[in-house]
Amino acid sequence: MTVHEIPLDSSSLIGCFSKEIPSFITVRSGDRIKCTIPDAGWGMYENGIRVKPYDRPPGAGHALIGPVYVEGAKAGMTLAVTINELVTGPFGFTAAGHYPNWQNRMLGLTAYDEIILSWKLSSTQQTGSCAIGGKTFQVALNPFLGVMGMPPNEPGNHSTFPPRSCGGNIDCKELVKGSTLYLPISVDGALFCFGDGHAAQGDGEVSCQAIECPMELADITITLEENMAITQPRAFTPNGWVTFGFHEDLNEATVIALDGMLQLMGEKYGLDRVEAIAIGSSVIDLRITQIVNGVKGVHAVLPHNALSVLEGDDS
């Protein structure tokens, strides 16, 4: 196992997914990557002031570390990404009101209602605070990376904004330290990219942004799972197993997430699909991951120890 400590500069940043852009680093299965990541808008902080020290290519989306070439990775295999550590920068922001989306239309928000919250973040106390409406509010931090994924097996550059079956802008708050995200590999070499630091986010990401922040440290391990065959992402997290569904229609996203959970329960407990959905109705939680990226996300959660198998009990 090799630890790759990546210096932050323009050569390690990318703003799209593409199988045609050369990787900047090659790793082997089991290798570890440690790096600093700008916030999604290519920003860092100096003395409390947000600056943009890195060139953002025209049309670029999130600032991502990548592409990372994984030696031996083949399309059809599974990539496991384990989150070892995430340390937020000291500041972050949340914008609201300036996106022309359906939430704003439904809520009657206009451009005049635009607001940007400035957050002071403490990675030691795991709290964030901001001033708004004459009051100071504090929230607990729950750091995770919003974007982890690979390019689809199609030519050209692909946006970082939607989630896909091979990953991308998943925006799931469950993917914290101690989690492992499993992604179906779409192209040889994987060409994995990651970024979009979030200090905290609620399910749904209702303003279109979480607490967006740089990560002073992102520490991940990349492993090839050659014997795991999946078609949609899944994750093992501190809270439980998670399966994901992505679709423009929220109902369809729900079906995809639930389908993945039924498959997982079949593997884990030897249940057929009808048995899995029958017993799963008492323990599976369906949650809206995000509703803001065009392609909506739903995740199904099976909490750890929610089901206990009593050996030898045939009643």
pLDDT in tens, 161-176: 999 999 999 999 999 9
pLDDT digits (tens, 9 = 90+) for 57-77: 999 999 999 999 999 999 999
What is this structure's pTM? 0.94
- Residue 315 lies inside a defined structural domain of this protein: no
CATH of the domain at 252: 3.10.28.20
114 and 210 belong to one structural domain: yes
Give the confidence band of 208 by pLDDT, cuts at 50, 70, 90. Answer: confident
User: Rounded to an integer, what is the distance from CA 265 to the centroid of its chain?
Assistant: 23
The first and second tokens of residue 169, run together, are: 């802008």
Which residue among 200, 234, 268 closes a domain? Answer: 234
161 and 264 belong to one structural domain: no
20 and 102 belong to one structural domain: yes
Nearest 10 degrees: Cα torsion 159, 120, 287, 301: 100
| pLDDT recorded at residue 226 | 84
Helix (H) or strand (E) holding 92: strand 91-96
CATH of the domain at 56: 2.60.120.580
**Within 10 A of 281 (CB to CB), how many other CB atoms are there?**
8
**Which of 34-38, 150-154, 204-208, 296-300 shows the lowest mean pLDDT across its residues?**
204-208
The first and second tokens of residue 287, run together, are: 């949650």
Domain total in the chain: 2
**Which of 102-106, 222-226, 275-279 shows the lowest mean pLDDT across its residues?**
102-106
| pLDDT recorded at residue 55 | 87
51 and 79 belong to one structural domain: yes
Burial group, residue 163, by CB count within 10 angstroms (0-12, 13-18, 19+): buried
Residues in the chain: 315
Mean pLDDT across the chain, nearest whole number?
94
pLDDT above 80 for 104: no
Please answer whether residues 118 and 137 qualify as being in contact, where contact means their C-beta atoms are separated by less than 8 angstroms.
no
122 and 23 belong to one structural domain: yes
| pLDDT recorded at residue 315 | 44
Domain span holding position 269: 239-303
